[in-house]
Amino acid sequence: MKDIKEDKWGLVIVMAAFFIQVFAFGTSSAIGVYNIEFLNYFDNDAVGVSLIAAINWGFFLGTGPIVSFLMTKMSYCTVALIGSALVVTGILLMPFLTYLPVMCFSFGVLTGIGSCMVYIPSHVLSGLYFDRHRSLSTGVATSGSGLGAAIMPIVVGYLIQEYGWKGSLILVAGLNLHLLVFSALLRAPSTIMPNKHSVESKVLAASSDIKHMDLDNVVARK
């Protein structure tokens, strides 16, 4: 039987988890770059503008138990794909919204929940494929969050200068389409493990062989 811990697909999982966290954490961290643009657009409503990021982080980090429950009902890949769609939808709607509470819902709730739905499966799977190197694999995957938080604000700032804040949001939504690709790679270890019944049958067969061997030894001694 092939040991799941030695499967090379684990390297693909770590790579996918790394880039998922680059985009998930990077996008949420970069929303602050838009604050000046939002203040000008929404008549200097500082409290309302600050709620966009606050609500996003609240749902991003607070819906973990719900996402974990969904992962028991659906595959990790399905949960992450739904989350990717929510992330892209929430960002893509923003340039067309003129009402601040709706923008808080779009990026805060939709993108926040979506980010959690891509983050949790990728983080969990990055450790399931490894035994000896579990800490290393999880550390490499998690380092994507730091890299994303460092580079995405720079990228967003450049996009705002070149295309304006509305155009940049459309491009950021396009960048986050990569989440769909990486989420599609999240194959759970159980999909390549032997069928439970086949394992049980092998165990029963082995037990039967041992009993026959013992009986033969008894007959031979007589």
Q: Residue written as tokens 């769609």?
A: 85
- Integer Cα distance of 59 and 113 in angstroms: 5
213 pLDDT band (50/70/90 cuts)?
Answer: very low
38 pLDDT band (50/70/90 cuts)?
Answer: very high
Residue 40 CB coordination number (10 Å): 11
The answer, as to whether pTM is greater than 0.95, is: no
Tell me the per-residue pLDDT of 127-165, one tens digit each, with 9 for 90 and over.
888 777 888 888 899 999 999 999 999 999 999 999 999
Q: Which two tokens mark 49? A: 């503008």
The reported pLDDT for the residue numbered 44 is 77
Are 21 and 145 in contact, with CB atoms under 8 Å apart? Answer: yes
Tell me the per-residue pLDDT of 57-108, one tens digit each, with 9 for 90 and over.
999 999 999 999 999 999 999 999 999 999 999 999 999 999 999 999 999 9
